Each structure stands twice: as structure tokens, then as C-alpha cells.
């Protein structure tokens, strides 16, 4: 019995090693400077990849640049993005299981009206990240002045300093406290977020999807067979 168990474990170990050797190191995954990404999604994906024999390297890259690098195959994956990126970037594929549900919010300075009609205000300023990638459907006929930045930290600092009148922000179910800290806000839409990869890693999808699904439903990392 012990010999049989030892044999099975050896076979599994060799399988994981062979599988990992198909991936050229390092396996680079981009992420953005956002509390939920850093505190939840990066650790979750780190566990998922390690459970299938891959040691990922996480690098902070802003949304716009990360998507371009991923589409070109210069990096291997990105933590999470919503579905509209697949139209703009044909070399990007998604893991089928969603990893987040996000709310896109318009955040407004306290004294201002707060709904999408403000996008017609030519004398106001809107701050955002990656407008073409995420908000082209909202900004097509807008008149508001736009300033685009590369990180949520900069975006929030500009808003707190009242250098902009409005900002587009995204929150998920782990950001309730942060979302509630803004008193003047408007829900624009809800989206589903997926972990995304370059299409050259298509063979990873079945096992990676299984790993992510398992980890989303348990507080503890497990080995994915």
C-alpha cells in the first residue's frame, strides 16, 4: 500500500514538473495599484499558478501599457480585466470562471450634480484611467474635459486635492468601505472581471480554471489534480 502511494506521488510530481517546464520562466503577470488587486487577487492567482506547477512573477504595470504588452506577448497574463478588452486586443484570452464583480462609479465633488449628464459639461474636468480601453462607450459624445492618469493612487490624490471635478472609479465586493467613503457618487454599470492571458498559454486554461474555481470557494489553497 505504501509502495503504491509512493509510486502515485512520484508520477504526480513528475507530471507537474513536466507541465511547468513547458512554461518559459519567468511567467509574468501584471497588476495595477488597487487595494483589492494587491490584497486579494494577486495572492489568489499566486496560489492558483503554484498549484499547477508554475511560479508567477507579479509586476505592477498600468492598465493601458499592460494590455498592450499582453497583446504583444511581452508579458504572460494580467490579474483581472472586464470583457471589453477582448475586442481591442485579439491576442488576449480569458479564464472562463469570473474572479470579480465590479461596479463602475462616477465619483463627484460634494457640491456637484452626480449623474451621467455631467459628461456634457464642457467647463468641468473628469479624471480617469485607460479611457479608450474601458470608457469609450461613455465618452463618445462627451464634452467634459478629460485628464488621464496611470494609477488609482494618483487619481484619488487629484480628486482629494480638488484638481478634478469627477473621477471614474471601480469597486468590487471587497471595496465596500472605500466605496462608502465617497458621499456623492453614481453607479454607472456593473461588470464581470476575468483573469486574462496571452493566447499562447491557451493550454493552461482547463487546469488554471479549475484551480481558480477551487480557491474562490475555499479560504485555503489546495493542490489541483
pLDDT tens, 202-225? 999 999 999 999 999 876 444 444
Q: How many domains does the chain have?
A: 2
Range of the domain at 205: 2-99+195-216
Q: Do 113 and 201 have their domain in common?
A: no
106 within domain boundaries: yes
pLDDT tens for 101-159 read 999 999 999 999 999 999 999 999 999 998 778 888 888 889 999 999 988 899 999 99
The phi and psi torsions of 112 (rounded to 5 degrees) equal -105, 155
pTM here is 0.81
Q: Do 170 and 203 have their domain in common?
A: no
CA distances from 147 to 115, 116, 163, 184 (A): 19, 17, 10, 20
Q: Do 94 and 165 have their domain in common?
A: no
Q: Do 88 and 199 have their domain in common?
A: yes
> Residue 180: CB partners within 8 Å, gap ≥ 6?
none
Q: Do 122 and 155 have their domain in common?
A: yes
Cell numbers found for residue 111 = 457640491
Amino acid at each position: 500500500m505504501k509502495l503504491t502511494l509512493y509510486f502515485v506521488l512520484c508520477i504526480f510530481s513528475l507530471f507537474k514538473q513536466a507541465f511547468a517546464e513547458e512554461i518559459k520562466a519567468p511567467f509574468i503577470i501584471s497588476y495595477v495599484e488597487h487595494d483589492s488587486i494587491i490584497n486579494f487577487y494577486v495572492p489568489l492567482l499566486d496560489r492558483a499558478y503554484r498549484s499547477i506547477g508554475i511560479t508567477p512573477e507579479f509586476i505592477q504595470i498600468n492598465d493601458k501599457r499592460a494590455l498592450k504588452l499582453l497583446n504583444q506577448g511581452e508579458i504572460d497574463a494580467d490579474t483581472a480585466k472586464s470583457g471589453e478588452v477582448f475586442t481591442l486586443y485579439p491576442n488576449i484570452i480569458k479564464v472562463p470562471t469570473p474572479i470579480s464583480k465590479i461596479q463602475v462609479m462616477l465619483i463627484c465633488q460634494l457640491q456637484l450634480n452626480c449623474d451621467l449628464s455631467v459628461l456634457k459639461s464642457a467647463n468641468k474636468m473628469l479624471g480617469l484611467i485607460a479611457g479608450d480601453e474601458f470608457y469609450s462607450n461613455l465618452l463618445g459624445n462627451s464634452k467634459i474635459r478629460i485628464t488621464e492618469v496611470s494609477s488609482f493612487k494618483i487619481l484619488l490624490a487629484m480628486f482629494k486635492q480638488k484638481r478634478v471635478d469627477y473621477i471614474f472609479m471601480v469597486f468590487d465586493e471587497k471595496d465596500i468601505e472605500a466605496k462608502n467613503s465617497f458621499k456623492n457618487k453614481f453607479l454607472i454599470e456593473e461588470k464581470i472581471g476575468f483573469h486574462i492571458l496571452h493566447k499562447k498559454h491557451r493550454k493552461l486554461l482547463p487546469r488554471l480554471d479549475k484551480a481558480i474555481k477551487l480557491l474562490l470557494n475555499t479560504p485555503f489553497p489546495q493542490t489541483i489534480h
